[in-house]
Each structure stands twice: as structure tokens, then as C-alpha cells.
Chain A
Amino acid sequence: MNPSSPAPTPAPAVEEILAQARRLREGIPGDIHEHLVESLYADAGRIAERSVSRPERPARPTFDRTLDRIVTSRIWGLPVMLLLFAFMFWLTIAGANIPSQWLANLLVENGHPWLRGLADAAGFPVWLRGLLVDGVYLSTAWVISVMLPPMAIFFPLFTLLEDFGYIPRVAFNLDALFKRAGAHGKQAMSTMMGFGCNAAGVVSTRIIDSPRERLIAILTNNFALCNGRWPTQILIATIFLGSLVPAHLTGLVSAGAVAGVALLGLGCTLLVALLLSRTVLKGQVSTFSLELPPYRPPRLWQTLYTSVLDRTLLVLWRAVVFAAPAGAVIWLVANVRLGDQSVAEVLVAGLDPFGLALGLNGVILLAYVIAIPANEIVIPTILMLTVLVARLAGVGEGAGILVQADSPVLVGEVLRAGGWTVLTAVNLMLFSLLHNPCSTTLYTIYKETGSARWTALAALLPLGMGVALTFAVASGWRLLAG
């Protein structure tokens, strides 16, 4: 560690002490550090022996051992993990629908016209009403009604698993994979954190002590789907993939698709870790000991309380903070005109050829540019821009107003009218997994690595992969479709 300010001139006594330490060190045979650690262990053992009494027969509850034998087994460990997570996604998807519609009904369908009326009554000029009510309020309301219900279900479930003690088992299962990819086994932990929030995941790589492996963990954390991207995945999978099968299978197929994307993210993590550890970040794989804590009965109410208050509301607040200004930006690009077209239309038209080559479209690419501050607002932005560009009649209330997407069915109608196909949906899900991290995460990466170059790599690497993968999928799709 280097002092940031010039160090004061050391007193002669200091240098003398340091020199003496060096001299003494040379006079001692063997590794001093090791001697000291050995002596420490000996003392700890001696003291523990004097105060701990154990039963003759080890009395570890068989429940723990039986459960561990299944969930950490070589054969069953990973399938059980996948099933468990797929089940959580299914519960989230199936359970979030009704409250989502209820919230949209309250905030968008009734709240928005009411606020418009209020603004009119207060004598707001049209542009101000547009900016505040149609821009800021509506996008915020949309984010709340789409994001709150899935988060309020997913986070408590995840926290219950965590409290129960399952997460270290996940790390245990993944450890061998990470190690084979040349990464640190503890990266499994930071990846798990990344499934909540990549910025938090990047900070949690501090548990990795080797700088090389820590960098790998930081650069690949973005491949863990964060909660800003879960709603996108869940919504698009429900609308486009779920509708391909009979209604009673919708939830199952959508959940499977989302789990598949999450799994693909894990695959990308391992692949990129492997590539990095073979090229720019070569080095030894370090070992560590992972402790499997005993299973503990989760404290239900406390968990619900904490995960709803801390995680859900915190993440929601963050989304709202970013959605509000983004809503204003959306309204502006849709209403500021260049010639006879709005800025948004010009931009979308410019991005369209590239977007279509990727199996996406100009709207999606523009939405990802606008949504750099937070992944949460990608879907609302896409919807608004689609309505604007496709000039859909009867949907929404004018340029730059987020549509009243009160149900997934309507969202589907809007998007299909905007020229979306199953390919667009699949590639959006892929692109949502593989693109640059949000600006918060990038800033965190910059703070943790202290390097603009690694930060740039962290942004460009997934973006490049996303472009390549969506292009490949689109080309293959078109080839097969003839």
C-alpha cells in the first residue's frame, strides 16, 4: 500500500529497528511466518482441549449429512441446484402477474390521468406537464408496477435459501468448475452476489486475496444476471416464449427459458475466466478452504421483513431514482424535433440497420444507450420508443408517453406491432445478459480496480460478446427459416 501523501522523513530510530528486524530474520533458520503460525495453532489446540468437551460419539445431526450428501453430490448437486432455481423463477413469474396488474391499474391507468388533470388544473404549460407527468411520473410508475412484485417474491425466496445455509453449497458445487476455468473457487460467492446486484458482486470479490483471480472475478461478474435484468427476462420470456405453448405450460416454459439464460451467463463466466486465465491473467490457481455451515432453520418473519425492506425497497428506490430522469430524457428525445422527425426517430432510423443485423432493432439499441444508468428501465424505454416509431394508433397518449402497459398481453401487442418476432425476443434476452454493465457497476469496478483500462475491458468484453452472439443467432435463424 502506498501512502497517498508524501511520507514524513522517518526518524533514524525507525530505520534502525527495521534494519535490526532484517538482521534478526536472517539469523533464524526456517520460515518465521510458518513457525509463528504453528505456535499459534499449538496454543489454540491446547486451550481448546482444556475447555471443550465432546461426546464420545460424534452427534452431528443426520439430517444435515443426508441433505449434504444430495445437494453437494457430484451427480445430483448441479441438477438439484438448477431445479431449485427454476422453481424459484416459476414461483416469481406465476406469482407476480396479478399484483403487477393491480399496481399498473392503480398507478398508471388511474394515477396518470388524475395527475394530468391535476397539472392542467394547476395551469402547467404543455411541455412541463409532458416532461413531469408523461415523462418522469409515468416511467417511474411503470418501473414500480413491473419490478416491485417479482422482486417482492424473488428476494425473500433467495434470502430464505441463504439463511437456511444453501448458498455455500452452491459455491461448493461450482468450486471445481471455477478452478478448472483458472479462477478462484470463492468466485462462486461473488457470482451469487452478482445475481442480486453486480455492483455488490464486484465489491464482494474482496474476499479473494489473489489480485489476478480477483480481477477475473470482477471482469466476469456482469455475466451473473442482476435484478435489474430479471424483470426483462421474465417479461419477454412470458410474452414471446410462453405464448408458443398451451396456457398451462406458459409458466413452466418461461421459467425454463429464464433459467437457461441464467445458466448461459454462468457458462460465459467460466468461458471468459478460462480465456482470461490463459491469456492476460495467467497464474497459479490458489486453494482455499470453504466451510459448509450447518443448516439453520430460516427465521421466516425476520427474513421477509429484511428482504422486503432492505433489498426490495432499496433496489426499487434505485430504479426509481434512475427511471425518473430517464423518463424525462425519453420524453425529450421523443418531442424535440429535427426537421419533421423527432430526435428519437432519427436515432432509431440510424441504428436500425445494425440492430436488425443482430436480430434486434434500432429501438432496442437506443433503449440500451438511454438505459446505461440502470438496466431496470430498458423495457419501459423500448415500449415507449416502439409506440413512437411505429406510430401505433390507439395505444399510449402521444409522443414520448410511456404506454399504459398494464398487462403483459398489451405489451406483447405493442411489441408485435413494432415488428417483433420470436427471434427479436430471444436476442433481446441474450443481449440483456451480454452487454456492458450499468454505470453504477462500472463506477464500482473503477473504484475496486483503480484502472480505467480494466474498467473499459469490463464494459467492452460483454458488449462485444453480445453483438457477436446475437449476430450469430440471427444469421443462423434466418438461414434455417430460409
Chain B
Amino acid sequence: MLRTPAKLLSVATAGVLATMALTACAGGATGPADGAKRVDGGTIEYAHQQEPACVFGGWIEQAYLSYQVLDNLTSLDEDGTPVPWLAEEWSASDDGLTWTFTLKEGVEFTDGSPLTAEAVAYNFDHWLGGGNSTAQVWLDGYYESAEAVDDQTLVVNLSAPYPRLADNLTQSYFAIQSQEALETRTAEENCEAPIGTGAFVVEEWNRGENIVLTRNDDYTSWPANAKHEGPANVERINWRFVADGTTRTSALRADEVDALYDVPAIEWEGLDTAGFDLAKYVTPGRPQQLSFDTVEGPFVDENVRKAFAYSLDRETLVETIGKGVIPFEGNGGVSQSTPGYSQKAADAYSYDIDKANELLDTAGWTETDADGYRTKDGETLDVTLPYGAGSIINAEGASILQGVQEQAKEAGFKVELIPVPQSEFFAGAYSTPEERDISAGYWTAVTAGILHINWRQNLPDSPNYNNDAFYNDPVLEDLILAANSEADLDAQNALYAEAQEYIADHALSIGLYDRLSSLAVSPYLKDVWQENAQGGPVFHDAYFVE
């Protein structure tokens, strides 16, 4: 036990020196020698940031995992076109209402049951019945039925044309599971270890620690864009959950892990210089953005929303904290990697404090209190901004939000940041107009069809809980619906762009930064790549060299 201040001081000094020493020894891989020999088998030690509740589900963190064990009908190629995976080919009828998929032959789920059109049709109904919340909201309003014509032929009937169906099916929310497993196993079993046709199977899940995935030696259904044919090269993946970015990076540098997800921006340059392979994928879909509550509180007034947007120097903020790794995003509708992106919408608001003040004056927020916050009829311009801390917004995002809070203060906004723990956030905390004024978050997608999910009206007979601005506008919805069903790609993109500009014009949402999927990989592990639909790691092709 420490007894004297001198001893305590010496321990403290030792602690500081140890910290300095630790931070100084930021080592790293130098890379394999030329002509390094390929090694078959082995275990990939992979450090991932977040642990979802189930392997399969409607969150991108689940998609990353389920990609390893489940296959989809289609896969997205580098150029953004869907290529065969479990479906060898597909076509849509002239009216766009009937899609026919021809499945690969001889594919088996890892429980031994065959991949049939009937099993796939069952999966469609399973998603729509609540089996996957994200697949459900994508197909809702379009899907009518799925039928097996024969073992290999599946017909999907739609109520309205949806020309980008095959593109959307590349996301792991639409991964195919064994019908037998879904029907006979418990929900918990299917949650922890879903049965698919994928390159790996779930061996065990130690909650809070890791998931062990082992190779499916009978794998036959790799996608057309895989880098090799046949089962995975490695025997096992130890998918560890390491929430702290510094710890993940240190583990990679210390050779404790072979790859990590979500490279902290501050570590990017150092890892690059040290010879690690870095990959960055700007997720298409909704960027990290701020949606304003349009039915309760000060942001009901469009002038106040615009004033908030003008009060922020978002670009400098993101560039500084993101270290040039995290891209600034001005567009609140979709990110810059999304087809149909509107630069005009992205450029709608830049920092202009005079304009912000003028708009607030017009809105009647003319007085200021002793702390410099605007007031109106004795009420402070107080706005709440809850965010999913650690789950939806990572540490860098939290710093950016603190910057937003401070910048908005200059115009007289008093922003209250409320970090919400993951469990509370996903349980629906701060989801009503009374509970929040600004909603922060993203939603990944492969097309601008995400606008339909985020901006479809929330009506009593057709609720939409994903309309974060609580904005019911038939004009905007009709524009998005027209885009969704437009077969001509250019015309579709033009309609989606128009919808983004509408969102910007009314300051319903403003962008902050683009969400990234990033990887840092040891130079001794080759052919790890990011799949093109969501940017998750693909380990099926990976192999070690020595």
C-alpha cells in the first residue's frame, strides 16, 4: 500500500514515463520480402469496433458479419453493377413488375438442405414479416409475393416497378438463410449462428469478446466478383470486438491482429507509412447528417433551420477533425458516393454568420440572454441533439458534434448534446418529436432509393418511423416514388437529385461527413478487400504470406 506522497509521486512519474514509452514505441510491420511464400490455412485475427445483437439483421454492423456466413442473390461489382452470386441470371418483365431469378445448381446450406427457389421465396416473406427490419423497409410498398416456379427459378412479383431491385439485393440485409433452419431452430439459434451457404460458419460467439468463424470446406457459391474460386484460403477468422480505436491500432502494430476495421483518422498516415495496407470505402446512402424536427420546437420555422445551417463551418470542422481522411459532406440527402448525388444540394449552405443572424431576427429570435443565447418571448433558443454514442457516432463524430455545438453558439443556438448508449438508442430513446430537435445519423445503401426510406411520409395508415425530420410532404414523396420506378438510369438520377435539392432548399437535413468503412491490414495478409455494396471486409479470398 502506498504510504507517502513521495512514493505516490514516484509511481505517478513512472506512470507518465511508461505512457511516454508506450506512445513512443509505435512500431509496425515493414512488410514481407519480395517473393514471399504463400501460406495455406491459418487464422485471421480481426479487430472490429462494434458488436451487434445478432449476426443477421438490419444494421450495417450485422451486414459485415453476415456477409461472411450468408450469400445473397446478387453481388455488387466495382463499377456499381450487380453480378451473379446465388442467382446466375435474372430479368425483369417489360412492365417491371415481375422479376425472374435463376439460381445456381448444386448449392447447399451448411445444414445440408439444398438451395431452392422455394427456400429463397421463404426468405423474402421472412424479411417482410419482420425477419430483417431494413430489408422490410426497402421492399415495403413494392413487394407483393415470391414464388418458386421450379427448384431453380424464382419469380418475385412487385406492385410497382423497381428497376434497381437487383442492386439492392446485394446488401447483406437480403442474405439468404436455410428455410429449414428458420423453420425448425429457435430465434436465438438463428440469431447467434444463422445457417447460410457462405464461405464461413459461426463456430462460437463469446459475447463481449469475439466470434469465431470457421471455413465452410464445401463452399461452392462464391460471387462472380470473387478473387478466387473455391472455399476460403484461411481456416478460421477470430472476429474480435475491440471498441477502442487506439487499442485496435496498437494491436495491429504489435502483430496481435492481422486486420482492423474503422481506422482512426489520426492513425491513418502513421499506419500507411509503416507499411500497412489501408482501404477506405465511402459508404453510399445517407451520410452522417443532421435532420431537423419539423413539427415541434424552433426548427418548425424554416428560417431557423437555415440559420442553423449557415451558422456552421462544417467543412473546416470535418477537415480538421477528420485529418483529411473523413470526407466533408454538405448534402443531407445522400453521400457523394451514391449514384444520383446532387452537388447543388451539397453546396446549398456554407458558413455565413450574418445570414444566420438575419434569418434568426426574421424568425423573431431577436433578443439574447446573458450567455449570448437567443431568446424569443422569454424562451431560450434551446435545441437538443441526442446521438447514438459509440454505435452510430464514433469518437471522431462526437468531436465533430461538439464543434457543431460551439459553432452554432455564435449565432445564439444553445445546443444540448446527449450521448445515448447503444442499448437505449436501439430501444427507441429520443425518437419522438417531443424528445429531440435534431437527429444525427446515417443509413447506408447502394442507391439513392434510401431517400424513400428516410423521407416517405409518416401517415397513420402507413407509418414511417425512419422519417427523422417528421416531415410529411406529398411533393417530396412523389418525386422519390417517381425516381424509384424510373427505368432510365439518367432520368432516375435526375429525379433523385431533384429530391435532394428539395431537401436542401427547405433545410430539412444538412450533411456533416461521409460515413466510412475503413480497413488496415497487415502486409502479411493478402487479398482482403472491401465488398462494393457496404464496404465490409471480404475474407474469403484472403491468404497469408511469410
A, B bound: no
| A positions within 8 Å CB-CB of B | none
